[in-house]
């Protein structure tokens, strides 16, 4: 009887581990190439940004971008505009600028958000860059 209980517990643990690793490996990685600004860079208003993002991040050739302070308070927003054909599975060059108010916190972040006109959570995505 102990052997059967042991084997059942072992099968449950191994099955759970296999499911966990399958789910973890099936999460898509975001390829995002940011040219400017750089990680930890001190930024000021008006911030110009540029880089490349996957084509499926764009809707009508743009996606939203936000600047937030260290308390996650949004200080400003803008739009990343495609600089080339955006209807592709590959990377698409973008650029834009954001005017924002100054914050009392030392650190913040730029949030590049995948445009998601459907509002479905499975279509959402973001890339965050820590700044100062």
pLDDT in tens, 88-118: 989 999 999 999 998 889 999 999 999 999 9
Query: What pLDDT does 52 receive?
Result: 96
Strands 33-36 and 47-54, how do they pair?
antiparallel
Query: What pLDDT does 27 receive?
Result: 47
Express each pLDDT in 2-54 by its tens digit: 766 655 554 555 555 444 444 444 445 667 899 999 998 999 999 999 999 99
> What's the gap between Cα 19 and its chain centre?
25
Distance (Å, rounded) from C-alpha 59 to C-alpha 69?
26
Q: For tokens 């590959």, what's the residue?
A: 90
pTM of the model: 0.76
Count H helices, E strands: the chain?
A: 1, 7
Distance (Å, rounded) from C-alpha 98 to C-alpha 65?
8
Instruction: Give the angle subtended at the CA of 64 by the CAs of 39 and 59, to the nearest 5°.
Output: 125
Query: What pLDDT does 80 receive?
Result: 98
Nearest alpha carbon to residue 96 among 126, 56, 58, 122: 58
Contact 113, 74 (CB under 8 A): no
Nearest alpha carbon to residue 56 among 90, 79, 100, 81: 90
Mean pLDDT on 59-82: 97
Confidence of residue 65 (pLDDT cuts 50, 70, 90): very high
């Amino acid at each position: 009887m102990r052997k059967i209980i042991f084997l059942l517990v072992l099968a449950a643990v191994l099955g759970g581990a296999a499911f966990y690793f399958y789910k973890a490996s099936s999460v898509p990685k975001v390829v995002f190439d940011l040219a400017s600004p750089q990680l930890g860079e001190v930024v000021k208003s008006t911030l110009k940004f540029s880089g490349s993002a996957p084509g499926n991040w764009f809707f009508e050739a743009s996606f939203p971008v936000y600047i937030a302070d260290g308390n996650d308070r949004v200080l400003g927003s803008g739009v990343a505009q495609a600089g080339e054909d955006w209807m592709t599975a590959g990377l698409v060059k973008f650029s834009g600028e954001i005017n924002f108010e100054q914050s009392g916190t030392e650190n913040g972040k730029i949030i590049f958000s995948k445009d998601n006109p459907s509002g479905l959570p499975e279509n959402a995505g973001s890339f965050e860059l820590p700044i100062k």
